[in-house]
Amino acid sequence: MEQKQDKLKDIISHAKEYGFIFPSSEIYDGLAATYDYGQLGSELKNNIKTYWWKAMVQMHENIVGIDAAIFMHPTTWKASGHVDAFNDPLIDNKDSKKRYRADVLIEEHIEKIRQKIEKEVEKGKSRFGNDFNETQFRATNPNVLRNAEKITQIEARMKSSLEDNDLEAVRNLILDLEIVCPISGSKNWTEVRQFNLMFSTELGSVAGDASTIYLRPETAQGIFVNFLNVQKSGRMKIPFGIAQIGKAFRNEIVARQFIFRMREFEQMEMQFFVRPGEEMKWYEYWKDAREKWHKNLGLGNQKYRFHDHIKLAHYANAACDIEFNFPMGFKELEGIHSRTDFDLKQHEQHSGKKLQFFDPEINESYVPYVVETSVGLDRLFLAVLSAAIQNEKLEDGTERVVLNIPPVLAPYKAAILPLIKKDGLPEKAREIQKLLQFEYNVQYDEKDAIGRRYRRQDAIGTPICITVDHQTLEDSTVTIRERDTMLQDRISIHEIQQRIADKASWRKILTDLKNN
Ligand code: GAP
């Protein structure tokens, strides 16, 4: 646990030191759970958005993107169910005065039992060696079975009490499981209460209910209310999707763990409109497609797992998360939800406007069903950063910190480094910079010894360093030094562009995705 916290601390301080992420309004001691992306952070974030947008919109002829306003008509949130049902169950520990999400306390308890099962499996592996049959072991080992049964029972109790909005039963479950406050260690819990997560404000100069508007808690509703606009103006035929990247706001009670849970964050969402009855086929399709998209980044396939929702949101008939192994353990990175026709039907009812599609193939009008993919941009940022940061011991006994960021996402694709600051080397290096900067974000750096400059680029994840030396002036060749292997080779200046493209171009990562 301590190790995990240390890892998160390392990431936070590295992110600040190199200009990826700063605490918001830091000169005023910051604002809880709010962060600013710095000069390198915004580059990395933009690259993540581009990977998503290109894969989602550019590579699918039946998906288009929009950019809806954050403010929406207040009835939107009544119709969507957020005014009445977008709540978190809260519980306070009376001794530490700390507030928790009751469902998260229970889920963390379940996770501990799950870890016991994994430990048992690991023990089995080392005991039986090559003869180990994991499936059989999981199906027969008494300790594994007992713990699996415990999980099933807890999940069933949690599901039914949350679905019935029976907050007393949620509290009783916490008491029965003897869950203690991580700060005070006591079981002195308050009642469980519901808390609405939407931020509200007033529109214009008149206060009162009529002018209360909300900061959107998800970008999805901007897509639903534009369903017909996009379908008609784009002559879209079902199945088709509408994608959007944008800010969302939630008054999270327990906003901790750096950029994992913030009150202002960004989502990349896509609503896929399908024929009623075909939603499960498309749900499976998008689960598979999204898993491939994530794994194509190369952060490590073992870092992902699916988790089916225990309690379905008010709009869903199937839902799961793609979880990522963050420094704090496996946690939700993306949600995939089969939202039925709930949202469009609700908007039909509340607006009095028809939101239907005439399907010429079956000669019928219907309200389409929706499968949604929704990934948190900031969470993906944290996933990339935490998987990338490495402290390496080198053969010569020294150490380096290197960010093995997927090259296409790196803030700078290359650094151009004149070996020394004279003899015409800076001028030559500037020429190369000018050549590359139309296509790639590159950095010129002439300060300090070359070894230190390499280390600096390693620490910010630049995949390629291009060193200009005296030989460059004679034969127009440069030294290329690779971030991950630290190997060096010499190529001619006119080959540099291709070298970067082979490693870090959109074409490369999107081709890999398509071929997967
Ligand atoms: N439209 C569906 C929706 O909003 P969600 O599971 O509540 O579903 C989707 O959110 C994704 O948004 C999550 O998987 C997570 O990555 C991200 N997200 C949600 N709340 C967040 C928060 N407070 N801070 C950062 N990211 C968050």
Residue 188, pLDDT > 90, answer: yes
Quote the ligand 1 centre to 352 CA distance (angstroms). Answer: 30
Q: For the ranges 41-55, 101-115, 464-478, which has the lowest average pLDDT?
A: 101-115
pLDDT of residue 2 exceeding 70, the answer is no
Domain-terminating residue out of 393, 422, 446: 393
94 lies in the same domain as 160: yes
**How many domains, the chain?**
3
232 and 378 in a single domain? The answer is: yes
Alpha helices in 22-165, H assignment, sequence order: 39-53, 75-80, 82-85, 102-128, 134-140, 142-163
324 CB under 6 A from ligand 1? no
Q: What is the pLDDT of residues 424-438, one digit of tens each?
A: 999 999 999 999 999
Same domain flag for 381 and 253? yes
Question: Which of 22, 10, 55, 8 lies closest to 514, judged by CA?
Answer: 55
Residue with the smallest CA separation from ligand 1 atom 4 is: 218
Residue 459: CB atoms within 10 Å: 16
Question: Do residue 163 and residue 255 come from a single domain?
Answer: no
User: Residue 32: which pLDDT band, with cuts at 50, 70 and 90?
Assistant: confident
Convert 288-340 into a string of H (helix), E (strand) and C (coil): HHHHHHHHCCCCCHHHEEEEECCCCCCCCCEEEEEEEEECCEEEEEEEEEEEE
Kindly report, residue by residue over 106-115, the tens digit of the pLDDT.
999 999 999 9
Q: Which of 393, 415, 439 is the last residue of a domain?
A: 393
- In terms of domains, do 411 and 389 share one? no
Ligand 1 proximity of 250 Cβ (cutoff 6 Å): yes
Q: Is 379 in the pocket of ligand 1 (CB under 6 A)?
A: yes
Residue 4 has a pLDDT of 67
Residue 104: how many other CB atoms lie within 10 Å: 15
Position 485 in a domain: yes
| Nearest atom of ligand 1 to the alpha carbon of 321 | 14
Q: Is residue 384 located within the same domain as residue 235?
A: yes
375 lines ligand 1 (CB under 6 A): yes
SS3 for 132-179 is CCHHHHHHHCHHHHHHHHHHHHHHHHHHHHHHCCCHHHHHHHHHHCCC
Same structural domain, 180 and 291 = no
pTM of the complete model: 0.88
Q: For 227-244, what is the mean pLDDT?
A: 97
Domain of residue 7 covers 1-70+219-393
Is 76 part of a structural domain of the chain?
A: no
Q: pLDDT tens digits for 138-150? A: 999 999 999 999 9
**List of residues 6+ apart from 399 with CB closer than 8 A:** 391, 392, 393
Q: Answer yes or no: do 156 and 275 share one domain.
A: no
On the question of pLDDT at 336 being above 80, the answer is yes
For position 348, which CATH number holds?
A: 3.30.930.10
What residue's CA is closest to ligand 1, atom 22? 261
Give the mean pLDDT of 378-397.
95
Give the residue, by CA position, lying nearest to ligand 1 atom 19.
Answer: 376
**pLDDT tens digit string along 372-386?**
999 999 999 999 999
pLDDT for position 212: 86
State whether the beta carbon of 378 lies less than 6 angstroms from ligand 1: yes
The predicted structure's pLDDT at residue 451: 94
Going from the Cα of 375 to the center of ligand 1, the distance in angstroms, rounded, reads 7
Is the pLDDT at 516 greater than 90? The verdict is no
What mean pLDDT is reported for the chain? 94
Which CATH number goes with the domain that contains 438? 3.40.50.800
Residue whose CA lies nearest to ligand 1 atom number 14: 334
Q: Looking at ligand 1, which atom is closest to the CA of residue 377?
A: 16
CATH of the domain at 140: 3.30.40.230
Quickly state the pLDDT bin for 67 (edges 50, 70, 90).
Answer: very high
Instruction: Give the model's pLDDT for residue 205.
Output: 66
Residues 463 and 347 in one domain: no
Domain closes at, from 161, 195, 229:
195
- Same domain flag for 22 and 66: yes
pLDDT higher than 60, residue 1:
no
Residue 276 has pLDDT above 90, yes or no: yes
